Structure 1
Amino acid sequence: MNSRWLKLIRVLNSNEGPFTSSQLASILQVSSKTVRNDIKDINNLLKNYKAEIESYRGTGYKLRIDDEEMFKKFWQTCETEKTFVPTESEDRVRYIMEKLLLQPDYVKMEELADELFISRSTLQSDLKTVRHILSKYHLKLEQRPYYGLKVLGDEMQIRFCISQYIFNDHHSIVDQTENWISIIPKEELVTIKNVILSKLRKYNIIISDISLHNLITHIAIACKRIREEKVVRIVNEEIKQLENQKEFFVAKEIVKDIEARLHVSFPKNEVAYISIHLQGTKMVPPQLKSEEINAFIDEEIQSIAQEMVKKIDDKYSLHLNGDEELLMALCLHLKPAINRLKYKMNLRNPLLEEIKTKYPLSFEAAVIGSEVLEERFHVKIDENEIGYIALHIEVALERQKKRKNKTPRCLIVCASGLGTAQLLFYKLKNKFNEELDIIGTTEYYNLNQQSFNHIDFIISTVPIKEKLPVPVIQVSTILGESDVKKIEKVMNHEVSVIDQYLRKRYTFLQMDFTTPVEVIRFLGNKLLEDKKVNDQYIDSVMEREKFSPTSFGNLVAIPHPIEPQTDETFWCIVTLTKPISWGNRPVQLVFLLNVDKNKKDSLKPMYQVLVKLLDNVPLIHRLLQCQTFEAFKNALKGQ
C-alpha cells in the first residue's frame, strides 16, 4: 500500500461522506482519474477485510465497513507497521529522517534511492527538506564520498529530533509500544514504563499521559544511543544546579533500576538529561489550594503570565485581564514550559490540529502571548507549546461566554390566524427550548404598531417588504430543517457577519497562483492600490506566517497581519483552480483577515463563522466551484 492510498482511506474513514472524485483529488493533489484508479486498486485490497469504497451516483464515494473489528486490525497494521512504500515527498522525507537518525553508520544514497524507488535527483530534492528540518535543531547532514550520509551535531538535539520527527507524530497516546520497537525490544519498553511509574508514585510527582509518553520515549532513545556509545554533553555548572533539585534525585533512582534490569550504564550526564525531562513535564498536584500554588510559583513566572494576558488584550480586546483562573492556569503551565524552552525541548500536543481548526481566535491570541516568551528567552516557540497556551485561553473565553450569555428575543408574525401562530410558537419552543425567548405573536397588519427596542429578530410566515430595524426570517408554518438553519444563523449572527465582512472588490475567484507568497502579495498590493494599508502590510502578514502557518486544514488558509493595519474589519478572499502547498497542507480557499485597529471587539463572531466554515467540507467545495461573487456570497450564507 502506498502513502496516497493510506491518506485516501483516512479521509473517507474520518469524515462523513460522501466525497466526489474532484473533492478527493483536491485533498490529495492529484487528478480525478488518479483518484478513481486508486479506489479500484484499494477495493481489491479491502475486500479481504470486509470493507469497500462505494460509489453513489451523483454524490460521490463513501467507505462501507462490514466488519469493524477486522477493519480496525487492518488499519492499525497500516498505521503502525508502516508497510507501505512512501510515494509523496512528505512521506519520503519522514522515511529518510528515520533511516538517518536511527542508523549509527553512514547511509548510502544509492540504497535510499533503491528502497524508495526514486531517482537520485528526486532524492536530492527530498534531502533539501531533510537538511532544513535538521537545521531547526542545529544539526547538519554530512555527505562523504564512498561513505554516504550521516547526521552530525549535539547529541541532545539529535535525541530531541528523533523524538519529534519519528516517535511523536502519532494520534493516539494510549498504547504506543508498537511504535518504539525499532529502538529497543518491547519487553525493555515495558520495564522502562514500570520503573518510571513506580518512582513517580513513590515521590508523588504528577505528569500528564503525554509527558509520560515523552519520558518513556526519551529514556528508550537514551538506552539505544548509550549502547551505540553516543552520550549527551552537559556542562558541569548546569549539572551542579540540577543536582540540588528533587528531579535529579528521582532521575538517579529511575536510572539505578533501569541499569540493573536492562544492563545499560548511564553516565552522570544522562542522569542530568532525565532530570531535565522531569522538570519539563512536572505538574502541580490538583489537591493544592490557591495560596499553596502561589507559593509554588515564583514572581518571574507570574510577571510573564500577566504580561502575556496584557499583550493579548491590547491586540484582540478579549477582556482577559482580571481572570484569576486564567492567570493561575498560565502560571502552572509556564513553570515546566520554561524548562522546556531553556533546553529547546518540545512537548508534543496531540490536539494541535484540532485546536487550530476549532479555536483559531484562541490560537491567534496564544501566538501573540508567546511573543512575550520569545522576547524573554530569545527562542522560537514551537506550535505545540502555542497550542497548549491556546487551550487555557479558550477555557477563559468559555467562562466569559457563560457569564455574558444573553438569550436572543424574537417576535412571530403570522397572517394565517392564531392557530397557526400558536403552532409555530410551540414548534419553536420545542426546537430551541431555553435558547430562544419568544416575546409574542402578531399579525402582519399590526406590525407597524410594534416597538423593536427589545427584539433581536422577527420570524415570519409571510414575506415582509418593509425595511425594519431588525433581521426578518421567513419560514414555513410547519418549520422544516432549512427554516431551523436560517434561524440558527441569525441567532449566531452569521448572516450579518458575512454581509459585514464580505467585499466584492476584494473577492477573487478561480485564480492560478502557485505559492502562498503570490497570494499574499497579490491581495496586499490590491489593498495598497486602494490606500487601505501601508507599505509594511505584506511584510506583517509574512511575519505572522513565520510563527505558525495559517493553513487550518480542509483546504482553507486564514492569513492576516501580525498587528491590525486597517480602519475597518473585512475579508479579502481568493479561491484557486488548484490547491497549493501552504505550511505542508493543501490550500485552495484563502480568507485574508483585516481587522479594524480601533475596534477589535467584533472578532469573536467573525471567528465563529470561520470555524463553522472550516468544519464544513461540502460547503468549502461548493465555494470552490463558484464562478461569480453573488454565487459565492449565497453559498457562504447557505442560500
Structure 2
Amino acid sequence: MLTKRQIEIFMDYYAHHDEIIKSKILADKYNISIRTIQNDIQVIRDEVEKAGAELKSISSKGHVLLIKNQALCASFADHLTLDYNSNYFFDVQASRVDYLLSTLITSHDFIKSQDLADAMYISRSRISVDLALLKEVLKKYNLSLVSKPYYGLKIEGSEINKRQCIIKENLCFAHNFIQNEKDEPIINEVKNIVTQILVDSHYKISDIALQNLIIHIATAIERMRSGNYLEQQSINLKDDDVFHHVLEISNKIIQSCCNKYSLPYTESEVVLLALNLQGKREYDQQEYISDEINKKIYHGLQQINENYNLDLTNDLNLRISLGLHILPLLSRLKTGMLLKNIMTYTIKQKFPFAFDIASTFTYSILPEYKERLSDDEISYLALHFSVSLNQTTPVANRKDILLICSQQKSETILIQQKIKQWFNNINEIKTVSASMVKPEIFDDYNAILTTESKIAEAYPKAMLVNYFLTDTDYQKIEMALNGFTSVKDILDKFDEDLFYYGNVKDKYEMIDILFKKAKKKFKLSDELYDSVMLHEKIASSCFGNKLAIPHPERLITDCTFITVGIPKEEIIWEGDTSINLVMLVSIDKNNVRAYQLWYYLSFLISNKDMLDRITKVPTYENLISIINDVYKNLF
C-alpha cells in the first residue's frame, strides 16, 4: 500500500505523464532528500507495473510515466484517489489528528490514550503532541477534551457544537463517517427525501445550498442513530425567527428521515433544521425584495464605483442576483449558520478582483455584521460579481482579429464561432491563408492568431493557438485583446526598487516597508498607506499558498505597480495563517482597464510551485525569471 506522499508523487507523474520529472524537483516540493524520493519512486514503480504503466528512468534527466493501458491505469488512479480521501495516514500528523477527532467525537465512552496510540502505531510522546493540537481544534467549537484517570479521554460539549465540528472539519465526508447498515453513504437517501419535500412544498433553494442542507441533515440523522440528540431548550426560538410554513416543511423532512431509520426525534431537531432551511431560501424573482434591500445594494454598488471607478449600478441582472442572495444571507448572519465553501481560496486566486469588490460591497452594506462575515460567504458573492465583470467590462472599441491558418476559409468556422462564443466584443475575424500574409496590416488588428507554428516563428506579433481551441488559448486571446501582448507588459509592473528581502517581525512592519519603497519611488502621500490599512481591517488579504496581497481600499495612485516583500522567516499574517511572500498591489486610478491586472495576477497567485520557487531564491532576478516562466506560454 502506498503512503500518502507516495500517492501524491504518483499523481504528479500521472498528471504530467509522458513528461520527464527530475527527482530534485520532487525532493524540493516535498521537502525531503533525493534518496528518499528515489526510494519512494522504486515503491511506486513496482505498483504501477501492475496497473498498465511504467515509471521509466531516463539517464541524467529523471523519470517519466509511460501509460501502456489507459483504462487500467485510470482505474488504478481512481482507486488511489479514493484511498487518499477515505483512509488515514498515520505517518502524517494532520491525518492522526483527524483520526483522534473522528474516533473520540463518535464515542460515548472514554478511550485510553495508549489504545489510541497503539491503533496508530505511534509512541505515547507523539500522541501527546497530537492531542495538544486536537485541543486547539476543539476550542473553535467550544468543546473540550476531558481526561479522567484510569478511564481515558472523552470530548465533552453541547451536541449542536459537536455537529458543527463534524461538518466544518469535514468528518461527514472523510473516512465514511456517514454510512448506512450496508456501509453505503446515506447522503443519497437523505437527498431524495429532502428534494421531494421541497418540490412538493414549492420551496426553492440553489444547488449549493441544497448540498449544504443535505450535509446538515445527514449528519443529524447519523448522530441520532448513534444516540446523540440535541439538548432540550438548546435553541431559543422567537416567534418571528422562522415562518410557520418553514417549520412545517422542516417537520416533514425530519419525520420522513427518522421514519426511514426508525428513529425518534425531538422538537429541537425540527427547530434547528427550520433555522437552517430559512437561511438557505432562494427567493424567486417574482417575490418581493424590500426597498431596504434595494437601497443597500445600490449603496454597495455606488461604493464600488467610488473606490474602483467601476460603475455596475445599471447591471439589473447583478442587482437582482445580489438581492436574492442577500435575503438568505441576512438570515444566516442572524442565526450564525454561515455557509462553508471549500472553494474559497480557489475563488480568491482565480477571481481576485471579483473577491475584492465583493468584500467592499458586503462590508459597506452590512457593517453591523463585520465580525461575523466570513471569506466563505464573500466568495459566493464574488461569483456574482465575476459574471457581471465578464459581461460589463468597459471596452473602448470593438475588437478585430486576424486569423492566419492553412485551412480553407470554410474550415475555420469552428475557430471563429468559438472565439465569438467566448468574447462578445468582437467586431470582425478576418481569415487569411498562410501564403497571403501581409505584415504591414498587423497594426490594424487587436490580435493576430495563427495555427501555423512557422508563421508564429516568422512573425513575433502572431500568437500560436490550437485548431481546436483550448482553455490556454482563451487566456492568450483575452490577454491580447486587453492589450497585454508580451510578457514585458506584466514585468513592467515590477521594479527592483520595489523589492525587499530581509528580517520582518510582523505584517505591519512588512506593509510599512513596502509602502515606504513605493512612496519614495512615486512620491506618494500617506493616503495609500491609510487606505491599505483600512482594507486590512475589513477584509482578508490572504490568498492561500502562503501569499498575502495587501492593497488599498480604493484606487489612489496614478500608475499601476507591485511592491514585493519576502521575509527571511515566515510571519503570521492573520489568525494562524503564516505568510512567506507579500505583494502590495496598487492600480492606476485613471485607467478603466487597469483592474484587469488582478485577472492576470491570478495565473501567478494560483501557481503554488512557482510561488515556492520565488521564496526559495529570494532575489529580484529570480522573481523576474519566474514571472517570465509563468507568462511566457501565454504570448
TM-score (norm 1): 0.75
Q: Which one of 362, 367, 379 corresponds to residue 370 of structure 1?
A: 362
- For the structure 1 residues 393 and 24, does the alpha-carbon distance in structure 2 shift closer, same or farther, using more than 3 Å as the test? farther
Deviation at 1:345, TM superposition (A): 1.9
Distance 2:578 2:20 in 1: 20
Distance 1:188 1:275 in 2: 21
- For the structure 1 residues 4 and 155, does the alpha-carbon distance in structure 2 shift closer, same or farther, using more than 3 Å as the test? same
Distance 2:132 2:159 in 1: 22
**Match in the other structure for 1:92:** 96
Q: Which one of 491, 496, 517 corresponds to residue 504 of structure 1?
A: 496
- For the structure 1 residues 111 and 322, does the alpha-carbon distance in structure 2 shift closer, same or farther, using more than 3 Å as the test? farther
* Bigger Cα displacement from structure 2, 317-326 vs 225-234: 225-234
**Match in the other structure for 1:591:** 583
Contact 1:537 1:565 in 2 (8 A): no
**Match in the other structure for 1:254:** 253
Distance 2:59 2:569 in 1: 24
Deviation at 1:489, TM superposition (A): 5.5
- For the structure 1 residues 347 and 516, does the alpha-carbon distance in structure 2 shift closer, same or farther, using more than 3 Å as the test? same
- For the structure 1 residues 183 and 480, does the alpha-carbon distance in structure 2 shift closer, same or farther, using more than 3 Å as the test? farther
TM-score (norm 2): 0.75
Q: Secondary structure at the match of 1:283?
A: coil
**Match in the other structure for 1:550:** 542
Contact 1:97 1:165 in 2 (8 A): no
Deviation at 1:184, TM superposition (A): 9.8
Distance 1:535 1:107 in 2: 58
Deviation at 1:391, TM superposition (A): 0.5
The answer to whether 1:315 aligns with 2:313 is: no
Contact 1:207 1:282 in 2 (8 A): yes
Deviation at 1:523, TM superposition (A): 3.6
Q: Which one of 592, 601, 609 corresponds to residue 610 of structure 1?
A: 601
Q: Which one of 138, 158, 163 corresponds to residue 162 of structure 2?
A: 158
Deviation at 1:534, TM superposition (A): 4.2
Q: Which one of 465, 476, 492 corresponds to residue 458 of structure 2?
A: 476
Contact 1:341 1:379 in 2 (8 A): no
**Match in the other structure for 2:37:** 35
* Within-5 A mapping of 1:208-219: 208-219=206-217
Deviation at 1:266, TM superposition (A): 1.1
Distance 2:292 2:134 in 1: 38
Alignment coverage as a number of residue pairs: 596
Deviation at 1:332, TM superposition (A): 1.1
**Match in the other structure for 2:218:** 220
Q: Which one of 559, 562, 575 corresponds to residue 571 of structure 1?
A: 562
Q: Which whole-Å deviations, capped at 9, do the CAs of 1:15-44 have from their partners, x for residues lacking one?
A: 676544344344434444433332222333
* Bigger Cα displacement from structure 2, 215-224 vs 11-20: 11-20
- For the structure 1 residues 632 and 27, does the alpha-carbon distance in structure 2 shift closer, same or farther, using more than 3 Å as the test? closer
**Match in the other structure for 1:467:** none
- For the structure 1 residues 35 and 374, does the alpha-carbon distance in structure 2 shift closer, same or farther, using more than 3 Å as the test? farther
Q: Secondary structure at the match of 1:573?
A: strand
**Match in the other structure for 2:141:** 137
Distance 1:194 1:634 in 2: 51
Contact 1:251 1:275 in 2 (8 A): yes
Deviation at 1:219, TM superposition (A): 2.4
1:78 counterpart letter in structure 2: D
The answer to whether 1:78 aligns with 2:78 is: no
2:496 counterpart letter in structure 1: K
**Match in the other structure for 1:271:** 270
* Within-5 A mapping of 1:273-422: 273-284=272-283, 290=285, 292-293=286-287, 295=288, 297-372=289-364, 375-377=367-369, 379-401=371-393, 406-407=398-399
* Bigger Cα displacement from structure 2, 540-549 vs 127-136: 540-549
Q: Secondary structure at the match of 1:180?
A: coil
Distance 1:354 1:303 in 2: 31
- For the structure 1 residues 107 and 526, does the alpha-carbon distance in structure 2 shift closer, same or farther, using more than 3 Å as the test? farther
- For the structure 1 residues 223 and 443, does the alpha-carbon distance in structure 2 shift closer, same or farther, using more than 3 Å as the test? closer
Q: Secondary structure at the match of 1:207?
A: coil
Distance 2:56 2:78 in 1: 21
Q: Secondary structure at the match of 1:325?
A: helix
* Bigger Cα displacement from structure 2, 225-234 vs 261-270: 225-234
Contact 1:545 1:559 in 2 (8 A): no
Q: Which whole-Å deviations, capped at 9, do the CAs of 1:602-626 have from their partners, x for residues lacking one?
A: 4432112212334667866776669
Contact 1:26 1:579 in 2 (8 A): no
2:219 counterpart letter in structure 1: I
Question: For the aligned residues, what is the CA RMSD?
Answer: 4.9
- For the structure 1 residues 251 and 477, does the alpha-carbon distance in structure 2 shift closer, same or farther, using more than 3 Å as the test? closer
Deviation at 1:586, TM superposition (A): 9.2
Distance 2:528 2:103 in 1: 43
**Match in the other structure for 2:469:** none
Q: Which whole-Å deviations, capped at 9, do the CAs of 1:239-260 have from their partners, x for residues lacking one?
A: 6445642121011112222333
2:549 counterpart letter in structure 1: I
* Bigger Cα displacement from structure 2, 38-47 vs 615-624: 615-624
Distance 1:636 1:185 in 2: 46
Contact 1:541 1:561 in 2 (8 A): yes
The answer to whether 1:493 aligns with 2:475 is: no
**Match in the other structure for 1:470:** none
Distance 2:58 2:605 in 1: 25
Contact 2:506 2:571 in 1 (8 A): yes
Deviation at 1:267, TM superposition (A): 0.9
- For the structure 1 residues 369 and 108, does the alpha-carbon distance in structure 2 shift closer, same or farther, using more than 3 Å as the test? farther
- For the structure 1 residues 573 and 154, does the alpha-carbon distance in structure 2 shift closer, same or farther, using more than 3 Å as the test? same
Deviation at 1:482, TM superposition (A): 6.5
Distance 1:140 1:542 in 2: 36
Distance 2:372 2:382 in 1: 16
Deviation at 1:196, TM superposition (A): 1.9
* Bigger Cα displacement from structure 2, 513-522 vs 195-204: 513-522
Q: Which whole-Å deviations, capped at 9, do the CAs of 1:128-147 have from their partners, x for residues lacking one?
A: 54444434334444445554
Contact 1:26 1:578 in 2 (8 A): no
Distance 1:47 1:546 in 2: 54
Q: Secondary structure at the match of 2:202?
A: coil
* Within-5 A mapping of 1:118-137: 118=122, 122-137=126-141
Q: Which whole-Å deviations, capped at 9, do the CAs of 1:420-455 have from their partners, x for residues lacking one?
A: x9999x9xx9988876777999999xx9xx998x77
- For the structure 1 residues 537 and 124, does the alpha-carbon distance in structure 2 shift closer, same or farther, using more than 3 Å as the test? farther
Distance 1:542 1:100 in 2: 42
* Bigger Cα displacement from structure 2, 328-337 vs 542-551: 542-551
Q: Which whole-Å deviations, capped at 9, do the CAs of 1:34-84 have from their partners, x for residues lacking one?
A: 3333222233333343345455567655555531453155225313431x4
Contact 1:3 1:91 in 2 (8 A): no
2:198 counterpart letter in structure 1: L
Distance 2:630 2:212 in 1: 42
- For the structure 1 residues 194 and 477, does the alpha-carbon distance in structure 2 shift closer, same or farther, using more than 3 Å as the test? closer
**Match in the other structure for 2:470:** none
1:74 counterpart letter in structure 2: H
Q: Which whole-Å deviations, capped at 9, do the CAs of 1:353-400 have from their partners, x for residues lacking one?
A: 432222111122222223246523354222321221111000101111
Distance 2:86 2:235 in 1: 41
Contact 1:520 1:538 in 2 (8 A): no
Contact 1:366 1:387 in 2 (8 A): yes
